[in-house]
Amino acid sequence: MSNNQTVSFEHSIPDNLKGLVADWSSDVQTFRVRWSKAMMWIFLVSDTFIFGSFLCAYMAVRLTTIEPWPPTSEVFALHVGGADVPLLLIAIMTFILISSSGTMAMAVTSGYKKERKKTAFLILLTALGGLAFVGMQMFEWSKLIFEEGIRPWGNPFGAAQFGGFFFMITGFHGLHVSIGVVYLCIVAKRVWEGRYDRLNDYQMVEVAGLYWHFVDLVWIFIFAFFYLW
């Protein structure tokens, strides 16, 4: 019964502006989430500022170029069946990354249901999506470098700054995806071995999920601001 009493005590602080003030001023514990989750979120906020600064710098430079910005929908077009389909590869990459986010969300739910094998399988499927994404990005980069002649210091399509921002922003995002694939593989291994069953706690799957969804989130903004603007 003392369980229920504690629950009602915790919930006696309302979840509105009054509750916000009470939570912050309680001098005991501000965030009623686990440390693992809070710290992952705080890391993601700092990462938001890194990517945010990249995209702001990109905006500042793009506003100032006298030369026209390279037409992205033509630069990133893929030649399929005798016609150039604009941004086809990017559309497929977006599709794959969103799908991997979906499977990750399902992995988190399966984790909380303590379905060990299903969770491990879904995390591995997510990592596989990430691997496919990085592979396609490598294909995209080599096409741009070897066939189109795009360099960080110049390119044949327009403003010289295009290459620098493209390689830095997508490169940094690709690094995040690559690290995420390794991270997910480690978590999948631990799920498979039953570590979280022994702890009776699958929270680390949710924490890994937060990181993976963030990678998807960053891609949404790169897709919008770099490829489509």
* Residues between 30 and 69 with contacts to another protein, criterion CB under 8 A: 30-34, 38, 41-42, 44-45, 48-49, 52-53, 56-57, 59-66
Q: Which is nearer to another protein, 25 or 82 (CB)?
A: 25
What are the tokens at 69?
Answer: 């910005």
Tell which one of 54, 70, 75, 94 touches another protein (CB under 8 A).
94
Does 109 engage in binding with another protein (CB under 8 A)? yes
Three-class SS state of 166: helix
Minimum distance of another protein from residue 146's CB (angstroms): 25
Does 183 engage in binding with another protein (CB under 8 A)? no
Tell which one of 70, 98, 119, 184 touches another protein (CB under 8 A).
98
Beta pairing partners, 84: 79
Does 133 engage in binding with another protein (CB under 8 A)? no
Does 73 engage in binding with another protein (CB under 8 A)? yes
Minimum distance of another protein from residue 63's CB (angstroms): 3
Does 92 engage in binding with another protein (CB under 8 A)? no
Minimum distance of another protein from residue 207's CB (angstroms): 11
Beta pairing partners, 80: 83
Task: Give CA–CA dist 183/176, Å, rounded.
Answer: 10
Does 121 engage in binding with another protein (CB under 8 A)? no
Minimum distance of another protein from residue 54's CB (angstroms): 11
Q: Is 42 exposed, middle or buried (0-12, 13-18, 19+ CB in 10 A)?
A: exposed
Tell which one of 89, 106, 128, 134 touches another protein (CB under 8 A).
106
Q: What are φ and ψ of residue 79, in 5° steps?
A: -85, 105
In terms of DSSP H, where are the helices of the chain? 2-11, 17-25, 35-64, 72-75, 88-112, 116-142, 161-193, 195-199, 203-222
User: Beta strands 78-80 and 83-85: pairing type?
Assistant: antiparallel
